[in-house]
């Protein structure tokens, strides 16, 4: 069985660029729960997967561009329910609503309708995070394993 590397809260905050309070709030309210290990009371640590980091980074980018947390929650739920890989998906927003474009044709259609002021390519977020994680690992930080080590 292949062990999946897990990321503890301090590393997640540093890699994604969010505060502990934001991460804690998003976990407690169910926006993004750690998929490897959730807190089980006092003294236990949350353990996030790389996919969780991608989701968190996309959320941060949407919020940074002015999208309300309520709309971000709807977009995250939509992506979860679609059950297809996030690779290749581009999210567009006009600052209020969020649109999904899974193909170049869909992007052209959105732009032709005058929608979409900015875009977030999930593939790009994924690659950027891979680089950030490599820096954290290279900086002497220990990455936790899902097995608890």
pLDDT for 149: 45
Q: What is the pLDDT along the chain (149 residues), one digit of tens a residue?
A: 455 679 999 999 999 999 999 999 999 999 999 999 887 777 778 999 998 998 899 899 888 888 888 888 888 887 777 776 666 677 777 667 777 776 777 767 767 776 555 677 777 888 888 888 877 766 554 455 555 44
**Two structure tokens written together for 97:** 């609503």
- CA separation, residue 77 to residues 30, 72, 121, 125 (Å): 10, 9, 18, 19
pLDDT for 1: 47
pLDDT for 99: 75
Work out the number of other CB atoms within 10 angstroms of the CB of residue 11: 21
- What is the tens place of the pLDDT at every residue in 21-62? 999 999 999 999 999 988 777 777 899 999 899 889 989 988
Domains of the chain: 5-82+124-145 (1.10.1660.10)
């Amino acid at each position: 069985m292949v062990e999946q590397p897990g990321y503890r809260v301090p590393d997640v905050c540093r890699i994604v660029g969010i505060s502990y309070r934001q991460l804690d709030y998003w976990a407690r309210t169910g926006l993004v729960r750690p998929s490897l290990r959730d807190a089980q009371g006092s003294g236990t640590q949350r353990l996030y997967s790389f996919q969780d980091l991608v989701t968190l980074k996309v959320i941060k980018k949407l919020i940074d561009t002015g999208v309300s947390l309520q709309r971000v929650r709807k977009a995250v739920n939509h992506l979860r329910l679609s059950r297809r890989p996030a690779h290749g998906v581009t999210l567009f927003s006009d600052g209020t609503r969020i649109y999904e474009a899974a193909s170049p044709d869909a992007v052209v259609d959105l732009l032709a309708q005058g929608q979409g002021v900015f875009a977030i390519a999930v593939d790009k977020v994924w690659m950027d995070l891979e680089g950030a994680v490599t820096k954290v690992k290279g900086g002497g930080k220990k990455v936790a394993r899902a097995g608890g080590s």
